[in-house]
């Protein structure tokens, strides 16, 4: 591998930029956080004293010393900022969701191909401890043929906060926020579903956008059929459901608790530190007892997660030493499913993927 250090510029220093991008990419050898576009330089310099701060995206994209632009703006700005960066010859990481709709996603995919730039979406939850462990469980074959998977991301946040994610603006709402992760994980495991049905609601007092969703992905053909995948998220779960409930023809797997990396990053911890990404809650494998006896229960240890691996893969892809961690064609397919979900919720029906124009 070449020893050249890649210089990254971060557009936006709100929650995503401060929590998920700056500390994670800075932990990767060969990546340097060189500049941040923010209207609050004091906030950036409190965390990163030696990093240059510029007033806006245009100033950052125009810098000749930036190799990689990371777009951590409100969702409505993802497309225009990423487009400007690609046109300026930069490699680009876009926080999820990729864009506001699939048409914008396809435009960026084409532009990256034309300019021979690496364009990726920040699907960091492919590197969650619980998801990586789930992949191991499924690969082991101990559950037999999989028939049902339920994936929850339940939180208890009863107060509507004054932030764009919870206001009636383009790109807000829980479906594109957490649905981007849960749908992506399902597609990584099983491919595109045959049908998708989504129910959404604004359940909290004063909620302006959906703060609850329940999606059913049906796999009715292909290697995983018949299979049902349920994706669920809510902001009003004082007692959260298990993160995963999985049933197969020979047993079940149950996992409580979510990956600890977000909480660690929120608390100001920065990788790499001892025990980073270690999940203290192990899962349980349950198989039927012989001759109708008591079920046999076995702890399945949860492996550690590591968001740093995403940016290490991004570094390698830019240097020509590895594949793009989340190539744009995967991001386009995910945006297609998010769009289909919104159509399903609006029309109150399941939609076959091939029915989408």
Residues 199 and 288 grouped into a single domain: yes
Residues 93 and 111 grouped into a single domain: yes
Residues 120 and 143 grouped into a single domain: no
- Distance (Å, whole) CA 21 – CA 196: 31
240 exposure class (CB count in 10 Å sphere: 0-12, 13-18, 19+): middle
Residues 296 and 153 grouped into a single domain: yes
Give the structural domain span for 108: 6-124+309-324
The count of structural domains within the chain is: 2
Q: What are the tens digits of pLDDT across the range 312-336?
A: 999 999 999 999 999 999 999 999 9
Residues 153 and 254 grouped into a single domain: yes
Residue 113 lies in a domain: yes
At 355, the pLDDT band (50, 70, 90 cuts) reads: low
Q: What are the tens digits of pLDDT across the range 193-231?
A: 999 999 999 999 999 999 999 999 999 999 999 999 999
- Determine if the peptide bond prior to 154 is cis (ω within 30°): no
Residues 349 and 205 grouped into a single domain: yes
Residues 150 and 229 grouped into a single domain: yes
| CATH number where 42 lies | 3.40.50.720
First-to-final CA distance of the chain: 44
Q: What are the tens digits of pLDDT across the range 127-186?
A: 999 999 999 999 999 999 999 999 999 999 999 998 888 889 988 999 999 999 999 999
Is the pLDDT assigned to residue 356 strictly greater than 60?
Answer: no
Residue 253 lies in a domain: yes
- Look up the pTM and report it: 0.94
Q: What percent of the chain has pLDDT over 90?
A: 92
Residues 149 and 285 grouped into a single domain: yes
Mean pLDDT, rounded, for 33-56? 97
**345 in Cβ contact with 200 (< 8 Å):** yes
Residues 97 and 166 grouped into a single domain: no
Residue 198 lies in a domain: yes
Residue 332 lies in a domain: no
Residues 180 and 291 grouped into a single domain: yes
Q: Chain-wide mean pLDDT for the chain?
A: 95
- Distance (Å, whole) CA 54 – CA 40: 10
pLDDT attached to residue 165: 86
Beta carbons within 8 Å of 164's beta carbon, 6+ residues apart: 74, 172
Give SS3 for 128: coil
Q: What are the tens digits of pLDDT across the range 141-152?
A: 999 999 999 999
Residue 75 lies in a domain: yes
Residues 143 and 63 grouped into a single domain: no
Q: Kindly report the backbone phi and psi dihedral angles of residue 59, in degrees, each rounded to the nearest multiple of 5, phi listed first.
A: -65, -35
Residue 156 lies in a domain: yes
């Amino acid at each position: 591998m070449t020893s050249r250090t890649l210089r990254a510029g971060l557009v936006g220093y709100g929650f995503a930029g401060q929590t998920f991008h700056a500390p994670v990419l800075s932990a990767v050898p060969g990546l340097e956080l060189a500049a941040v576009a923010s209207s609050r330089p004091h906030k950036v310099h409190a965390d990163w004293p030696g990093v240059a701060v510029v007033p806006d995206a245009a100033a950052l994209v125009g810098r000749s010393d930036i190799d990689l632009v990371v777009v951590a703006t409100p969702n409505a700005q993802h497309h225009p900022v990423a487009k400007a960066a690609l046109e300026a010859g930069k490699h680009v990481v876009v926080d999820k969701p990729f864009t506001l709709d699939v048409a914008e996603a396809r435009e960026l995919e084409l532009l990256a191909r034309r300019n021979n730039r690496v364009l990726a979406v920040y699907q960091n939850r492919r590197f969650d401890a619980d998801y990586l462990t789930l992949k191991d469980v499924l690969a082991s074959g101990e559950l037999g043929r999989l028939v049902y998977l339920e994936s929850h991301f339940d939180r208890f946040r009863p107060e509507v906060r004054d932030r764009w994610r919870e206001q009636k603006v383009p790109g807000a709402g829980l479906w594109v926020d957490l649905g981007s992760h849960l749908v992506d994980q399902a597609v990584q495991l099983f491919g595109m579903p045959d049908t998708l049905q989504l129910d959404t609601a604004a359940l909290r007092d004063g909620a302006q956008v959906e703060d609850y969703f329940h999606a059913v992905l049906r796999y009715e053909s292909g290697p995983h059929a018949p299979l049902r995948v349920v994706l669920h998220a809510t902001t009003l779960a004082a007692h959260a459901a298990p993160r995963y409930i999985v049933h197969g023809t020979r047993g079940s797997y149950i996992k409580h608790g979510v990956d600890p990396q977000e909480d660690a990053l929120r608390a100001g911890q920065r990788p790499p530190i001892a025990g980073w990404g270690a999940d203290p809650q192990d899962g349980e494998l349950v198989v039927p007892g012989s001759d109708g006896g008591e079920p046999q229960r076995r702890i399945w240890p949860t492996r550690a997660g590591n968001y740093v691996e995403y940016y290490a893969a991004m570094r390698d892809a830019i240097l020509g030493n590895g594949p793009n961690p989340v190539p744009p064609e995967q991001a386009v397919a995910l945006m297609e499913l998010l769009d289909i979900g919104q159509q399903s919720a609006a029309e109150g029906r399941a939609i076959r993927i091939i029915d989408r124009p």
